[in-house]
Amino acid sequence: MKLAGLRPPRLRTADEEGHRTATWLELFYDLVFVVAVAGLGHRLLVDPSWKGGLAFVGFFIPLWWAWVGYTFYADRYDTDDIGQRNLAAAQIMAVAFMAASVGGEETDGTFAFALSFIAARGILVIMYVRARRHVPETRELTTGYIGGMSLALAVWAVSLLVPLEARIVLWAIGLLIDFYTPYRLRKIQAKVPLDVSHLPERFGLFTILVLGESIAAVIAGLEHEGWEMAPFIGAVLGIIIATGLWWIYFDNLEGSVVRRRKEQLKAWKPTAWIYSHLPLAFSLTAAGIGLEFIVTQHFDLKERMVVTLGMVGALLAMGMIHVATQAGPERRDETKARIRFTSAGIVLLLGLVGGGIPANWFAAILAVIVVAQVGLDLYLEPGERPDVRAGVDMEAARADHEIHETHETHETEGD
């Protein structure tokens, strides 16, 4: 890949570029999040209490949002020039400091985490300032992003000056502003739709990243316990569960939903599809840590609830992704959503009443639940495996050009 010198951002559209995949810079950018997610997972492993779980989620949300912010920018404006690479490298450094801070003492750790998050998001603001200057056709959108992010950053900056309890409250307010900003700009965003091939692949790659933590957790548990029969069986079951979760997510990853269809302009589905990946990501990470508890056979109430709530959250999030996916004439996505929701309820019941169940038997039941969903998915789509490459529905990608042609005549309709 030839590196461009210094050139301004430009609007990237599917009509100009066709099928698009992640760049090497984006893949390198993801590496720092591998380390960050691993650090958060270790924090939950050390403290699986309710307080530890809330702290895990509290740190995970800003981390995920930092990743989403850059991903959305790159989807529309990435040019992979020297300027973009340097700004991305600076963001990688800020995220690395976020990752390093999550294992520290609460007050000092949260201060460093907030400061690093401010740096990461501040760099993103600079990226959007560049885009605003050089891409006049999307200036209304970039101005809205800059304003919303700047307001949220101001709240985060104030959080550096207050005690720990108030700091967490201000974080929540700042994140709510950040989350609300894209929603407030939804009509404007409809005029600059996200890429049907690139964005689902990026979310799929992040999901692979957190699923990798499940495999790493199983290996770590087996290394710690040695090759005794119980840990070995737990490891086998853990890998079966992780593989099943991978299967039911990636065999159902649709790209078309992130782009507004002409009949979907008033729908909430694209937003729901995107934001459902947040609970999916932290739930899969928690479930992976729970698998390590199973392998090590350390499976009291706290450990059981980590794997239970992780599995429940992941299945509920996948169900919401199905609900948000464009349903075909046979409405298979709705059927799959009901399967995910029902399975989540069964897992929750198992976790609540299964206090006397040994770790491996608990894992065996989870494996049966996950494998059964794989079988049901195959039954629902016999002989109709989608042409999926790197998590992107190629048929949807081809159809999206036709959809985009009709989009212009509907883009002024209200949401």
pLDDT number for residue 415:
36
In whole angstroms, give the CA distance from residue 175 to residue 360.
39
Angle at 272 between CA 270 and CA 275, to 5 degrees: 110
Whether 285 and 41 have beta carbons less than 8 Å apart is answered as yes
% pLDDT > 90, the chain: 63
Q: Is the pLDDT confidence value at 96 over 90?
A: yes
Which range has highest mean pLDDT (116-120, 219-223, 271-275, 392-396)? Answer: 116-120
Q: Which of 188-192, 210-214, 384-388, 393-397 has the lowest mean pLDDT?
A: 393-397
Residue 329: DSSP 8-state: T
pLDDT tens figures, 253-265: 765 566 544 445 4
* Dist. CA 159–CA 181, nearest whole Å: 20
Please give the average per-residue pLDDT across 189-194, as a whole number.
Answer: 75
Question: What is d(CA 389, CA 22) in angstroms, rounded to the nearest whole number?
Answer: 12
Nearest of 163, 215, 197 to residue 38 by alpha carbon: 215
pLDDT confidence of residue 389: 46
Give the model's confidence band at 397: pLDDT under 50 very low, under 70 low, under 90 confident, else very high.
very low
> So what's the pLDDT on residue 231?
95
Least confident stretch, 90-94, 268-272, 332-336: 268-272
Residue 227, pLDDT score: 86
Comparing 174 with 393, the larger pLDDT belongs to: 174
d(CA 125, CA 414): 28
Q: Supply 376's token pair.
A: 């049901």
pLDDT bucket at 331, cuts 50 / 70 / 90: low
Distant-in-sequence, close-in-space partners of 269: CB < 8 Å, separation ≥ 6: 257, 323, 324, 325, 326
More confident residue, 233 or 402: 233
What is the structure's pLDDT at 400?
46
| Spatial distance between the Cα atoms of 290 and 288, rounded to a whole number of angstroms | 5
Which pLDDT value is given to residue 133? Answer: 92
Does pLDDT of 207 surpass 80? Answer: yes
What mean pLDDT, rounded, does the chain reach? 85
Lowest model confidence (mean pLDDT) among 266-275, 311-320, 404-413: 404-413
Tens digits of residue pLDDT in 128-170: 999 999 999 999 999 999 999 999 999 999 999 999 999 999 9
Question: Which phi and psi (to 5°) does residue 389 adopt?
Answer: -125, 120
Query: How far is residue 135's CA from residue 376's CA, in Å, rounded to a whole number?
Result: 47
The pLDDT value recorded for residue 413 is 35
Maximum Cα–Cα distance across the chain: 65
**391: helix, strand or coil:** coil
Query: What is the pLDDT, as a whole number, of residue 124?
Result: 97
Q: Give the per-residue pLDDT at 313.
A: 98
Average pLDDT over residues 12-26: 70
pLDDT of 81: 84
Chain segment 340-383, per-residue pLDDT in tens: 999 999 999 999 998 889 999 999 999 999 999 999 999 887 65
pLDDT in tens, 59-81: 999 999 999 999 999 988 888 88
Residue 358, classified by CB atoms within 10 Å of its CB into exposed (0-12), middle (13-18) or buried (19+), is middle
Compute the average pLDDT of residues 320-341: 81
Q: What angle do CA 146, 148, 151 make, to 5 degrees?
A: 105
> What does the pLDDT average to over 394-403?
44
Angle (CA) 309 97 3, round 5°: 105
- pLDDT, tens digit, for every residue of 271-321? 888 899 999 999 999 999 999 999 999 999 999 999 999 999 999 999 999
Which pLDDT score is estimated for 58? 95
Q: What pLDDT shows up at residue 248?
A: 94
